[in-house]
Chain A
Amino acid sequence: MKLDLTLTVDGHHHSLTVDTRTTVLDALREHLDITSPKKGCDHGQCGACTVLLDGRRTLSCLSLAVAHDGAEITTADGLAPDGELHPLQQAFVDHDAYQCGYCTPGQICSAVGMLDEAAHGAPSVVTDDLTGDVRLDRAEIAERLSGNLCRCGAYAHIVDAVEQVAR
């Protein structure tokens, strides 16, 4: 079965017809040729597909496209309109917070979403004070980004990059 829907991706409006089984990730990659979000596991276990969906970090491989008709999606590419890198992206480049780069767009979308969550006071499992302001130290950053696997093992540099921007 196929259905029509619209998505706004990185500021661009798209109308498409998709199989009801198509995930947001496949809609982006296979229908719109927007390959910034990556497919690493297709099961929500690696985080490579992370995008900002209506402003929140979301695993696009676990989201069915037809359930998100009219959604606004920002990919890592959309964080750099006209090629101007987002401060987090620049920090990733400066700190070499990646190697192969395959998990990187997901790490960056996840970090952007995470910074917003922290700014709104959302605690994590390593937060001592559940009601106060969140102070993003290295342990907090690492904990909050642990849904994004990096098999190259760039975690130490990822925390460096995010810490620089969180400051």
Chain B
Amino acid sequence: MTTASRPFVPHAVGTAMPRPEGPQKVRGTARYTVETPGSDALYLFPVQAGVARGRVTAIDTSAAEALEGVVAVLTHENAPRLAREADADHGVLQSSTIHQHGQYLAAVLATSSESAREAASLVSVEVVEEPHAAVLDEDSPDLYTPEALVVGVTDDTRGDPEAALAASAVTLRRTYRTPMEHHQPLEPHATVACWEDGRLVVHDATQAVSWTRQALAAAFGLDESDVDVVAQHVGGGFGSKGGTHPNTMLTALAAQAVPGRSVRYALTRQQMFDLVGYRPATVQHVALGADREGRLTAITHDVVDQGSKIGEFVEPAAAFSRGMYAAETRRTTHRVVPLDIGVPTFMRAPGEAPGSFAGECAMDELAIELGIDPIELRLRNEPEVDPESGLPYSSRNLVACLRRGAERFGWADRDPAPRARLVDGWWHGTGVGSASFPVPRFPGSEATIRATGTGDTAGYTVEIAASDIGQGARAALTAIAADALDVGVERIDLRIGDTAFGPAGPAGGSAGTTSWGATIVEAADRFRDKYGDHPEDGDEADAHTPDNPWAGEYSMHAFGAHFVEVAVHADTGEIRVPRMLGVFAAGRIVNPLTARSQFLGGMTWGLSAALHEESVLDDRFGHVVNRDFAGYHVATNADVGTLDVEWLDEDDPYVNPMGTKGIGEIGIVGVAAAIANAAYHATGVRVRSLPITLDAFL
């Protein structure tokens, strides 16, 4: 373990900095994956399975191969073999077995995108269909208990919550449901792959070039040093570009058939609903027990998740209830119903987003039951230490967020009576929801700092294989490097997005800035220890991500509170959100300009989840029916009312040298609950299932 030997003194950190890549982005000259220059690249278009389960019995590619411009057609019969038995999701074109609707069955390589697509339509596939399951049924005999969550145990029980519920003055038992949702970053997943002399060079739309390299090296039996992965500009990710999906494997596999030539594959928007992950649907049973004063005696949160038979991701929705409020007894559980569908994955605030919908709606319902103001109910259940770990918090300012938000929003004047404010044909109401998100740190990043030039004007090249998916890593890490080296930002030349810079953790888990920033600070310290502040040209130091010495001593979370106003049309049930306020306590804010964007973006995601997003699975075929932006609605500009964001000054010396907590995800947590709570306040109708649509109010 190493620790920074100098205090981190913020100068650039805390000062608004426009994105260095901003001029390129507004002109459109920032190049995203599929725009990687290369004139003789081949276009890939896939053939996909139309059944959820079965077997390919015959595949005829002759018509496709005869089409002008077609260079190759790969199927499971002629595709190169992967080096190991990859899991079913990554084992593309390795067998005749069909595990999910949309699975790749063949890939056409052609000199134009039009030819590739036409040829794919000419591939004839005969399939024997087998019975499948695609319905999330809590009573399914296949329901199972996963071994563990990504972070934490599957189930956690403290005391005897059922006995406490039975003995409570007030008991609330409710079931909440959240739907399957798809990330749908505006840049579709894309890969450009080329094999040159046994080396695999890949441009990939990924949140983690290192993870992509790792997955490719494993599947193709290569040393990681024989795989290069580059991602300079990534058009959003939100989790779907965290893991490596079959599309990247397919492109690399197809490129193996045409060594020396690049193969390009950008998914269509429709394909984005098949193979690159989703947030699984949840059924959440929540019970709260309380005394008459609103002190919680029991919290139970039992979750059943939609899952896949070919890979496991457990949406850790009940984990939200492990640390949010104090209670003498508690139970949180997760079960999964495995289905013949694609593999779910992390999606912005995994666990917290759907879990907070249930948890924060339940708190609102309990407040109404008790006749206590919902903010006051939360204040009465503020824990002194983290209820899950028993550790003190490095900082916890939920109460301050709630109080400040209440003041700014004008909560004091609120009449708690539901269905009491009809203005010009619209029922108006207000609601609140709390937010929390942990402060994780990914190990294993590497940063290198090198002086260019000498003396007081020396520049510093800072290399780390971070990904900027829109969160603003270029600006944030430039500021952190400048402060760690105690120089102006103009002297920093930050280079990211390339495995040539060594391993690095992902842009994910709200942990990018913590993980990469702590690594850069460590490298800067070593550099200054070695060369002082007047280096010679070429002086160089590197560092790995240091451990956090306080990791086992404190519980580290960001907190926030959302306040919203909802209007529901009395005749049509149309629901609008004219006003939202988010107040956050998330440590030191590195770049106020881009941080505000992240909070606003999270809140807009919360609004979108509350009112719009739902992937509708047709259980007859196991595919998403509303597979484009006409069917899968995300919030548009006109859906967003007045958004207001504030963050509290928070000095947390334990999280990392910079004092930062992640801010990419907390903005979404609690929003859907606040909107549902406001909708109840407006109309007297309690909606416990997302998205909240107008039919609920008719």
Interface residues of A (CB under 8 A from B): 19, 21-22, 26, 29-30, 33, 35-43, 45-46, 48, 75-77, 79-80, 83, 85, 89-90, 92-94, 96, 98-105, 108, 126, 139, 141-143, 145-146, 148-159
Contact = CB atoms under 8 A, between A and B. Distances in A.
Interface stretch (B15-23, B153-161, B299-307, B685-693): B15-23
Nearest to B266: A39
A109 to B, nearest CB: 9
Nearest to B468: A100
Contact of A43 (B29, B600, B628): B628
A142 B640 contact: yes
B516 interface: no
A26 B471 CA distance: 29
Closest 8 CB pairs of A and B: A36-B28, A153-B604, A100-B470, A102-B235, A101-B25, A105-B28, A99-B470, A153-B601
Given A35-B29, A94-B18, A153-B605, 5 more contacts: A19-B114, A46-B186, A98-B22, A155-B604, A159-B637
Given A22-B114, A102-B185, A80 B18 contact: no
Contact of B598 (A77, A99, A158): A99
Contacts of B28: 35-38, 75-77, 104-105
B27 A152 contact: no
15 contacts: A39-B266, A41-B269, A85-B23, A90-B26, A92-B22, A93-B26, A99-B598, A100-B187, A101-B21, A101-B24, A143-B637, A154-B597, A154-B600, A154-B601, A155-B636
A145 B27 contact: no
Interface stretch (B30-38, B328-336, B408-416, B555-563): B30-38
Given A39-B188, A154-B597, A105 B471 contact: no
B601 A101 contact: no
Interface in B18-70: 18-19, 21-32, 35, 37
Residue among B186, B600, B604 with the highest chain A CB neighbour number at 10 A? B186
A149 B628 CA distance: 12
A12 to B, nearest CB: 15
A151 B26 contact: no
B470 A93 contact: no
Interface string B628-654: 111000111111100100000000000
B268 interface: yes
Nearest to B234: A100
Given A156-B643, A158-B637, A151 B112 contact: no
Contact of A149 (B19, B268, B593, B629): B629
B279 interface: no
Contacts of B112: 19, 30
A156 B629 contact: no
B234 A153 contact: no
B21 A153 contact: no
Range of interface residues on chain B? 35 or more
A108 B28 CA distance: 10
B603 interface: yes
Contacts of B603: 153
Given A42-B268, A100-B236, A159-B637, A152 B470 contact: yes
Contacts of B113: 26, 30
A143 B643 CA distance: 16
Contacts of B484: none
Contact of B26 (A46, A76, A148): A76
B472 interface: yes
Residue among B32, B233, B608 with the highest chain A CB neighbour number at 10 A? B32
Nearest to B22: A93
A126 B608 CA distance: 21
A25 to B, nearest CB: 11
Contact of A80 (B27, B31, B470, B472): B27
Interface residues of chain A: helix, strand, loop or mixed (majority): loop
A142 B637 contact: yes
Contact of B23 (A83, A154, A157): A83
A65 B564 CA distance: 46
A137 to B, nearest CB: 12
B23 A101 contact: no
B235 A101 contact: yes
Interface in B375-430: none
B184 interface: yes
Contact of A153 (B18, B594, B600): B600
A94 B18 CA distance: 7
A48 B638 contact: no
B469 A93 contact: no
Contacts of B23: 80, 83, 85, 89, 93
Contact of B640 (A76, A89, A156): A156
A149 B630 CA distance: 11
A48 to B, nearest CB: 6
B600 A33 contact: no
Contacts of B114: 19, 21-22
Nearest to A139: B638
Contacts of B27: 36, 76-77, 79-80, 83, 85, 89, 105
A22 B37 CA distance: 20
A46 B600 contact: no
A81 B638 CA distance: 31
Given A29-B35, A102-B186, A38 B640 contact: no
Contacts of B236: 99-100, 102, 151-152
B634 to A, nearest CB: 6
A35 B31 contact: yes
B105 to A, nearest CB: 22
B629 A41 contact: yes
Contacts of B268: 42
B535 interface: no
Nearest to A90: B26
B110 to A, nearest CB: 12
B602 interface: yes
A79 B233 CA distance: 21
A29 B187 CA distance: 14
A38 B187 contact: yes
B596 interface: yes
A36 B268 CA distance: 18
A91 to B, nearest CB: 9
Contacts of B29: 35-36, 77
Contacts of B584: none
Nearest to A83: B23
B396 to A, nearest CB: 27
A45 B26 contact: no
A82 to B, nearest CB: 11
Nearest to B596: A96
B195 interface: no
A59 to B, nearest CB: 12
Nearest to B604: A153
A37 B113 CA distance: 17
B266 A151 contact: no
Contacts of B35: 29, 35
B238 interface: yes
A101 to B, nearest CB: 3
B460 to A, nearest CB: 24
Nearest to B112: A19
A30 B113 CA distance: 9
Contacts of B266: 39
A96 B30 contact: no
A114 to B, nearest CB: 11
B480 to A, nearest CB: 18
A104 B472 CA distance: 15
A47 to B, nearest CB: 9
Contact of B186 (A38, A143, A159): A38
A152 B186 CA distance: 8
B628 to A, nearest CB: 6
B638 A151 contact: no
